[in-house]
Amino acid sequence: MTTLYLAMIGFSITVLVQAGTNCSFYNNIAELAYLCIEVGHTVLYTILVTTRLFIMRKRMKQIMTQHDSSTYNTIALMVIESAALYSAFGIAFIVAFAMHAYGLTTLCFLSIGRIQGIAQLFIIIRVARGRAATSEWSTRGTAIHTALGFAGTVSGTTEGTDNKQIGETERDVHLFANSEKPAEIPVSAA
């Protein structure tokens, strides 16, 4: 990814230098290479992010059998659908540029900024309609039952920058077993 990003920077500088020497925009080979690397970077990034999401979904299913994996699916879908429009439009731009279809190239060139905005709007619309991952999704699945519970209070005050009493805590750890009465184990603050 870093190599592609550095190549994009290198080609963009080359395009700017060539544009300053009265080179025609439509006959600039460095521009075509830059466009190919830019769209390739977008596609590769999308593939890597969604692959990582699906790997994490699989790991979570292995760890917690009752895990609701729809959060990973929704986020992957948001990434894919926001990148798909831009990538398809970028490929059309590259093909038109390589075939010297000046009218279509100009149309694509003038519209690419709006397409990037629409790609972001896909995510915003999904969130606004409530079809995106929300904080309530994290509590949708069945919680893992443990036998460990924490309770405690923090004592101490802070005045200005005098932090002498910060960290003096009173904590109890409650172990809940199958019996009616929970066992209490006091923990001393260090």
The residue-averaged pLDDT of 166-182 equals 50
Band (151; pLDDT cuts 50, 70, 90): low
Say if residue 161's pLDDT is above 70.
no
pLDDT at res. 188: 55
Between residues 173 and 51, the one the model is more confident about: 51
pLDDT digits (tens, 9 = 90+) for 43-58: 999 999 999 999 988 8
Band (6; pLDDT cuts 50, 70, 90): very high
The residue-averaged pLDDT of 133-139 equals 55
**Least confident interval from 17-26, 27-36, 43-52, 166-175:** 166-175
Band (92; pLDDT cuts 50, 70, 90): very high
Between residues 157 and 69, the one the model is more confident about: 69
In the chain, % of residues over pLDDT 70 = 69
Quick one: tokens of 134? 């929300």
Say if residue 169's pLDDT is above 60.
no
Say if residue 147's pLDDT is above 60.
no
pTM (whole model) above 0.75: no
Say if residue 175's pLDDT is above 60.
no
pLDDT digits (tens, 9 = 90+) for 26-35: 788 888 899 8
In the chain, what are the domain boundaries?
2-139, 148-187
The residue-averaged pLDDT of 4-26 equals 86
